[in-house]
Amino acid sequence: MSAQQTIGPFWHLIDQPDWWDLTRFGAAGARIAIEGRITDGAGAAVADAAVELFQASPARDAVFPGYGRVAADAEGRFRFATVMPGPLPGPRGANAQQAPHCGLALHARGLLRPLFTRIYFAGDALNATDPLLSLVPAARRDTLVADETSPGVWRRDIVLQGEGETVFLDF
Q: How far apart are CA 108 and CA 126, in angstroms?
A: 32
Per-residue pLDDT of the chain (171 residues; tens, 9 = 90+): 444 445 555 555 466 778 999 999 999 999 999 999 999 999 999 998 999 999 988 887 889 999 999 999 999 999 999 999 999 988 876 778 999 999 999 998 888 899 999 999 999 999 999 999 999 999 999 999 999 999 999 999 999 999 999 999 997
Neighbours of 124 (CB within 10 A): 15
Handedness of CA 128, 43, 78, 65 (dihedral sign): negative
Residue 53 has phi, psi (to 5 degrees) of -120, 135
Question: pTM for this one?
Answer: 0.89
Q: Which domains does the chain have, with CATH numbers?
A: 31-159 (2.60.130.10)
Residue 65 and residue 73 in contact, taking contact as beta carbons nearer than 8 Å:
no
